[in-house]
Amino acid sequence: MTSYDHKKIEKKWQTRWRKSGVYRTKEQNGGKKFYVLDMFPYASGEGLHVGHPKGYIATDVYSRFMRSNGYSVLHPMGFDAFGLPAENYALANKINPAVAVAHNVKRFKEQLEKIGLDYDWSREINTTDPAYYRWTQWIFLQMFKAGLAYESNEPINWCPSCKTGLANEDVDDGRCERCGTPVEKKPMRQWVLKITDYAEKLLDGLGGLDWPESIKELQRNWIGKSEGALISFEIKNQKSKIKNIEVFTTRADTLFGATYLVLAPEHELLKNKELGITNYDEVLRYIVTSRTKTEIERTAEGKEKTGVELKGVKAINPANNEEIPIFVADYVLAGYGTGAIMAVPAHDERDWQFAKKYNLPIKQVILTGMVTGRKLSEFDGKSALFGEKFDNSLWKEHYKNNGVLLNSGKFDGMNSEEAKDKIANFVGGKSVTKYKLRDWVFSRQRYWGEPIPLVFCETCKTQAEKSKIKNQKSNISRGEQLNPGWVPVPEDKLPVKLPNVKSYEPTGTGESPLANIKNWVNVKCPKCGGEGKRETNTMPQWAGSCWYYLRYTDPKNKKAFADRKKMDYWLGTGLPLRNSAEQNAGGVDFYVGGAEHATRHLIYARFWHQFLFDKGLVAHSEPFKKLQHVGLILAEDGRKMSKRWGNIINPDDIIERFGADALRVYEMFMGPFDQSVVWNTDNLVGAKRFLERVWRTKDKIKDKTLKIKNEALEIALHQTIKKVTEDIKEFKFNTAISQLMIFTNVLEKRDEIPQIVFETFLTLLTPFAPHIAEELWELIGNKKSIQQVPWPTYKAEFLSEIESVVAVQINGKTRGTIMLSPAATQDEAIKKALAEPQLKKWIGEGNPRKVVYIAGKILSIVV
C-alpha cells in the first residue's frame, strides 16, 4: 500500500497535462460550447495570496464539469498590467515597469500552474503586449472617429500623490482609489469618453442579464437616472447681462416653496462679473476656498452648510413672482443637473439646514401623508391621517415625501405627483432626464499605459474648423470635427508603441513623462505631412480590460481585434445567429470575479461592447451573460489579506505542505461561494484527510470483475451523482463536496467495492481534485486520461427508492419519525405512522381532526 504523496502526484500530472494538451480549446460544429471566464488578475508585485484562486478554482471546476458533459469549453487566462499599480510598484522598486511586469507575470503564472488549473495557455494575453494594445488603440480610434472621444479642459479629479488625473470611478470616498490621498479638483487638458451617451443603454441592458441583483443595483445607482424639469428663473438686476438662471429639479411640485436659489461655486455665471454682483470679492474668496474641499466634504449629510449671498442680484420665482435671494454654496455640485438649484427648505433637508443657518424663509407647500381627495379645509393640523402640523424648527424625514399641495395658488389640494408636470408646464419648464454618470476621463499623465494614437497638427486644425463651419461631408471624421487639429494615426500604423525611456517618473506638471521625448513626440502629420505632435497622455488602467474577453476567442489575429466568426461562436449559441432574441442573449456564458468591479470594469466593458455592437463589429449586445461574484477569503485575524497587515497566506506554502488538491477542496468547501469566509488552517487539514481517505479506499478494489449487487450502495452512488451534478451547476461547491465525503464514508464501511463504483466516484471528484483523481484512475488500470471521461448520469429509478426521515407531530409536539419515499401520499404516511406503536399511542383510535403532510419533511396530525 503506497501512501498519498501529493507532491509527486501533482508534479507528474501537471507535466503530463501540459505535454498532452488535454486542456486545449477545441471548437466543435453544432453548438454545445461554453465560455467560462475569470476576471484576469492584475499583475502586481505581490503575487497571489490564497484568496485570489478561489474564483479561479471555481471556474476550473465548472469548466472541467462542462467539458466532461460534452461541451467545447473556452477557459482562458491572461494578465492586465498597464496603469498605476504596476507603475507605482516599479517606481518604488526602481525597476522599469516593463521589466517588473514581465517578472510578475511569470511569478503569477507559476503560481496558477501549481494549482492545477486547466487554462488553455496557448491563448494567454497580456494587455501590455503591443500585439494586444494595437487593438485597444484601434477600438479607441473607432470611438474617436464616431465622435465619442473629446478633448476637455474641465476641472477633474487630480491625485497629488500619483500626479495624475483620475476618472470619477477611480475616486472612493473622495480619495484616490490607488493610494488613499484625498483628490483635488484641477482644470486640466484631458481626453474624455462620452459614456453618458450610453447611459440609457447601460441601464436598459441590465434587465436581460443573469447577474446578482446587488451588482445590477450598484450599476443602476452609479448611472443614477433622474427624471425632472429644467426651470428658468429670471434675474432681477439692471446691471446683469444675464437674464436667467436655469435649475434642475425633480420636485417641480414644490416650486411655490422655493425661497432662494443656489449656484455651485464652479458655476459658469460666477466666472466673471456679468451678474453684476456687488460683493464679488467675497464671493470669489468663497469660490477659492471651496476648491480645497473634496466632493464628500461638500455634500456629506452631517456637514455644516456654508455659502455666500450674491449681493445686488435677485431672482424671481416664476410660480408666484416673489423676489428671492441667490447664494453660492458648495453643497451644490457643478457636475450635476445645471449646477444650480431652487432651494425648498421645507421639503429638502440640505436646503433646510442652510435656511436655518442663514435665516431664510421656510415655506411648506406639501402636506405629506395627506390622503388625496380630501379637502384641505378638513385639515386640523393634528390628525395623523392628514399629516401632522409642520414644524419649522425640526427636520422630519417625512417632509420630503409626496402629499397634497398647499400654499401653491391654484394648485392647492392637488396630489404632488400630478403637480410635478402641471407646475412645470405652468412656468414653461422643460422635462429632462439627468444621469449621475459622468463622462469617462480617459487620459492619464503617466508613462505606463497605452499611448493614445492621435497626432496634433496646426494645419489640419484650420481645415477641420473650416469643415465644421461649412458642415462639409469630407474625409474629416466626427472626431476630428469635434477636436480640431487632432488627427488619428492611420490604422495600419498601429500600434503606437510606448517608447523606452530612462525616466518615467510622473512630472506633476500635468504632462506625461512622454512629453519629454522629443523624437517620439515630433512626427509628421499623418494627414497633411506637416509638423505634428503626438498625444503624450496615456490610457487608464481600465482600457485593456474593456475588450480582452473578445481577444481570447482569437488571440493571435493580426488582421482584426478578433475574427467575427470566432467571437460569434464563443459569445453566441455555438450556431449561427438566428434572431434578435439571440442577439440580446449573448455574451460570455459565465463570468466570475470580485464584486469590487461593479462600477468600473463592468460598466466600462459594457460600454465598449455596446459601442462595438452599434458599429456592427460584434453580434451580441452585451458582453457578459451570467455573472457570479466571489466571496472574499479573509485572513485568520478576520481582516482582508494585505501586505499592510502582514497576514497574507501564500498558496505556494500551502501547496507545498498540503497539496494543490487539498487547497482546491478546502477553498470550495469553506462555505457558500459568494460569501466571505475566514481562512482556517485546521479545516484545510480536514480537506487533506479527506483526500487521504479517498486514497486508501482504492485498496478496497480486490476483484476487478465484481459487480454492484448491493442495492444500498447503488442508491448511494446515484444519489451522489445527482447531488454533485446539480450542485456544481448552481455553484454550490461546498454541498457537492460534502456529498462526496458522505459517499466516501459509505465506501469506507465496506470490505470490498466494485471498480465501476470507484471509477464513477473518481469522475465526480475530478473537477475538485484533478491530480489525485487522475493518479488513482491510472493506478486502477485506466490508460485514457480521466479528464476525457464523460460525466456520469444517474438513474432516476434508484432515487425514487430513497426514503427520507419524516418527523411526526401530534397536536404540535414531535413524537417520533417515520421513513417515507418522496412519492408517498398522505394516506400512506398516516398508515406508516399508525404502524408504529409509540406513535399510535398518541394518535389514538378516532379520526384525526386535521392532517398536514409535507412530503419528505413533516407529518402533522391534530386529534
The residues binding ligand ANZ (CB under 6 A) are 226, 248-251, 254, 264, 332-333, 336-337, 339, 341-342, 344, 347-348, 400
CB of 377 to ligand ANZ, least distance (A): 24
- Please report how close the Cβ of residue 473 comes to Zn ion at its closest, in angstroms: 19
> Least distance (Å) from Zn ion to the CB of residue 528?
4
- Measured from the Cβ of residue 30, the count of other Cβ atoms closer than 10 Å reads 8
Q: Which three cell numbers stand for residue 302?
A: 452631517
Asked if 403 contacts 416 with a C-beta cutoff of 8 angstroms, the reply is yes
Q: Of 250 and 472, which CB lies nearer to ligand ANZ in the complex structure?
A: 250
Pair 467, 255: CB distance under 8 Å: no
Among ligand ANZ, Zn ion, none, the one that 460 touches (CB under a kind-dependent 5 to 8 A) is Zn ion
Alpha-carbon distance of 387 to 371, in angstroms, equals 9
Which of residues 297 and 656 has its CB atom nearest to ligand ANZ in the complex? 297
- Binding site partner of 347, from ligand ANZ, Zn ion, none, Cβ cut-off 5-8 A by kind: ligand ANZ
Specify the residue, 215 or 525, whose C-beta has the smaller distance to Zn ion.
Answer: 525
* Distance of closest approach, residue 207 Cβ to ligand ANZ, in angstroms: 21
* Min CB(614)–ligand ANZ separation in Å: 27
Q: Which of 315, 329, 406, 457 binds Zn ion (CB under 5 A)?
A: 457
Residue type, 651: P
Phi, psi of 335 (to 5 degrees): -85, 5
Find the binder of Zn ion among 226, 299, 459, 516 (CB under 5 A).
459
From the CB of 171, what's the least distance to ligand ANZ, in Å? 17
In the complex, the smallest distance separating the C-beta of residue 346 from ligand ANZ, rounded to whole angstroms, is: 8
**Of Zn ion, ligand ANZ, none, which one sits near residue 598, judging by CB under 5 to 8 A according to partner kind?**
none
Nearer to Zn ion, 289 or 474 (CB): 474
Measured N-to-C along each axis, helices 755-765 and 711-729 cross at an angle, to the nearest 10 degrees, of: 10
Give me the least distance between CB of 492 and Zn ion, in Å please: 18
Query: Of these partners, ligand ANZ, Zn ion, none, which one is at the site of residue 527 (CB under 5 to 8 Å by kind)?
Result: Zn ion
Q: Is 367 helix (H, G, I), strand (E, B) or coil?
A: strand
Q: What CA–CA distance (Å, rounded) separates 557 from 563?
A: 7
- Of ligand ANZ, Zn ion, none, which one does residue 333 interact with (CB within 5 to 8 Å by kind)? ligand ANZ
Name the residue nearer to Zn ion (CB basis): 334 or 460: 460
Q: Which does 530 bind (CB under 5 to 8 A by kind): ligand ANZ, Zn ion, none?
A: Zn ion
Determine the Cα–Cα distance for residues 151 and 132; give it in Å rounded to an integer: 25
Binding partner of residue 342 among Zn ion, ligand ANZ, none, CB under 5 to 8 Å per kind? ligand ANZ
State how far the Cα of 416 lies from the Cα of 801, in Å rounded to an integer: 63
Helices 199-206 & 601-614 angle (0-180, nearest 10): 100
Helices (H), 673-805: 681-697, 711-729, 733-748, 755-765, 770-779, 796-799
State the nearest-atom distance from the C-beta of 248 to ligand ANZ, in Å.
Answer: 5
Return d(Cα 675, Cα 602) in angstroms, integer: 20
Residue (139 or 346) nearer to ligand ANZ, CB: 346
Q: How far apart are CA 537 and CA 189, in angstroms?
A: 10
Report CA Rg, the chain.
34
Q: Which is nearer to Zn ion, 458 or 727 (CB)?
A: 458
What's the CA gap between 791 and 777, in Å, rounded?
A: 14
CB 334 within 8 A of CB 265: yes
Residues 6+ apart with CB under 8 A from 482: 147, 150
Choosing among ligand ANZ, Zn ion, none, which partner's interface includes residue 308 (Cβ < 5 to 8 Å by kind)?
Answer: none
Phi, psi (degrees; rounded to nearest 5) at 834: -65, -25
Between residues 142 and 254, which has the closer beta carbon with respect to ligand ANZ?
A: 254
Question: Which C-beta is closer to ligand ANZ: that of 434 or that of 533?
Answer: 434
- Annotate each residue in 529-568 with x if it binds Zn ion (CB under 5 A) or - if it does not, as one string: -x--------------------------------------
Q: What, of Zn ion, ligand ANZ, none, does residue 332 touch, CB below 5 to 8 Å by kind?
A: ligand ANZ
Q: Which does 459 bind (CB under 5 to 8 A by kind): Zn ion, ligand ANZ, none?
A: Zn ion
**Distance, CA of 390 to chain centre:** 43
Per CB under 5 A, 460 contacts Zn ion: yes
Interaction partner, residue 341 (ligand ANZ, Zn ion, none; CB < 5-8 Å by kind): ligand ANZ
Please choose which of Zn ion, ligand ANZ, none residue 457 contacts, taking the beta carbon within 5 to 8 angstroms, the exact cut-off set by kind: Zn ion
Task: Phi first, then psi: give them for residue 149, nearest 5 degrees.
Answer: -120, 135
Rounded least distance, CB 394 to ligand ANZ, Å = 16
Q: Measured from the CB of residue 456, what is the shortest distance to Zn ion in angstroms?
A: 9
**Is residue 495 reached through a cis peptide bond, with omega within 30 degrees of 0 on the bond before it?**
yes
Using the rule CB under 5 A, give the single segment among 137-145, 460-468, 543-551, 592-600 that binds Zn ion. 460-468
Q: Does residue 67 contact residue 787 with C-beta atoms inside 8 Å? A: yes
Contact region with Zn ion (CB under 5 A), list: 58-66, 136-144, 455-463, 824-832: 455-463
Rounded least distance, CB 255 to ligand ANZ, Å: 8
For residues 526 and 816, which CB has a smaller minimum distance to Zn ion in the complex? 526
HEC string for 803-858:
CEEEEEEECCEEEEEEEECCCCCHHHHHHHHHCCHHHHHHHCCCCCCEEEEECCCE
Q: Whose Cβ is closer to ligand ANZ: residue 395's or residue 842's?
A: 395
694 by Cβ neighbours in 10 Å (0-12 / 13-18 / 19+) ranks as buried
Smallest separation (angstroms) from ligand ANZ to the CB of 194:
20
Stretch of 1-9, 291-299, 456-464, 743-751 contacting Zn ion, by CB under 5 A: 456-464
Residue 717 near which of ligand ANZ, Zn ion, none (CB within 5-8 Å, type-dependent): none
Q: How far is the CB of 258 from ligand ANZ (least distance, A)?
A: 7
Judged by CB, which is closer to ligand ANZ: 350, or 566?
A: 350
CA gap 539, 81 in Å, rounded: 12
Nearer to Zn ion, 529 or 822 (CB): 529
Sign of the CA dihedral 231, 236, 238, 240?
negative
Task: Quote the least distance from Cβ 259 to ligand ANZ, whole Å.
Answer: 11
Smaller CB separation from ligand ANZ, 315 or 332: 332
Between 64 and 363, name the residue whose CB sits nearer to ligand ANZ: 363
- What lies within 8 Å, CB to CB, of 129 at 6+ separation is none
DSSP class of 553: T
CB-nearer residue toward Zn ion: 491 or 748: 491
Q: Which set of grid coordinates corresponds to residue 113?
A: 500552474
Please state the closest distance from residue 225 (CB atom) to ligand ANZ, in A: 8
3-state secondary structure of 540: coil
User: Contacts with Zn ion in 579-618 (CB under 5 A)?
Assistant: none
Identify any residues that bridge with 633 across adjacent strands, giving them in sequence order: 677
We find the least distance from the C-beta atom of residue 188 to ligand ANZ, in angstroms, to be: 21
- What is the per-residue binding string for Zn ion in 504-533, x denoting contact by CB under 5 A? ---------------------x-xx-x---
Q: Does 427 bind Zn ion (CB under 5 A)?
A: no
Q: Are 415 and 402 in contact (CB under 8 A)?
A: yes
Rule CB under 5 A: is residue 476 a binding residue for Zn ion? no
Cell of 157: 479629479
CA dist 194 and 607 (Å) reads 10
CA angle 135, 136, 141 (to 5 degrees): 90
Cα–Cα distance for residue pair 187/201, rounded to 1 Å? 30
Task: Point out which residues bind Zn ion (CB under 5 A).
Answer: 457, 459-460, 525, 527-528, 530
